[in-house]
A = this chain, B = another copy of it.
Amino acid sequence: MKSMASTSEKILDIAQSLIVAGGYNGFSYADISAAIGIRKASIHHHFPTKAELVAVLVDRYRQQAETGLQALRAQVASPAEQLQFYLNYWDTCIRDASQPFCVCAMLAGEMPMLPDEVASRVRAHFQSLAAWLASVLSAGAQQDLFRLNGRPEEEAQILMASVHGAMLSSRAFGDPGLFIAIISTQVAKLTK
């Protein structure tokens, strides 16, 4: 026996993949219902409203990301390698199509019409991701691994934008390889 995921986790899994594909308005309770073989009403039992479902989903995603990035900083010594691992993660996700887009980047695009409880959580993810990148860049600069043109916070914003923009381009062109093609050249400027 491998996966004994609870129903609510299955719901979140499906919802996340549907959001990644089509955004907040791009999925319905009926879609989830059909995907995991449960009635619509049962989903409302676990998540009374759609806004709540997505808010919980983003919380879960944020925590997974936070945990993963913290672990990366703890287990991988070099900031350069920390950055590389982070980028490889997304490259792999995009290549095997398991998670070809960041759910928060997707939702950020729809920000103006997102329920407040979702929007604030998406904002929080952007903030903590930017902070993590800034700390990695800062540590790397101190070790002379990176050559930064601006403050670490600025470079982190640029890097984050490049990552999300590269996801978008990769998706627009339907070319999974484009992500790493864009990002590796971009990172080369930092590390050289």
Report the separation of the CA atoms of residues A25 and B105 in the bound assembly, to the nearest whole angstrom: 17
Within 8 A of B (CB), among A160-175: 160-166, 168-169, 171-174
A interface SS class: helix
Q: How far is the CB of A185 from chain B (nearest CB, A)?
A: 5
Report the separation of the CA atoms of residues A182 and B161 in the bound assembly, to the nearest whole angstrom: 8
Using A126-B172, A149-B185, A154-B185 as known contacts, say yes or no to A22 and B110 having CB atoms under 8 A apart: yes
Number of copies: 2
Does A111 count as interface, using CB distance less than 8 angstroms?
Answer: yes
Judge whether A174 and B123 touch: CB under 8 Å. yes
Residues of B contacting A111 in the complex (Cβ-Cβ under 8 angstroms): 171-172, 174
Using A101-B109, A113-B21, A188-B149 as known contacts, say yes or no to A164 and B158 having CB atoms under 8 A apart: no
Nearest residue, chain B, Cβ from A127: B173
Residues of B contacting A188 in the complex (Cβ-Cβ under 8 angstroms): 149
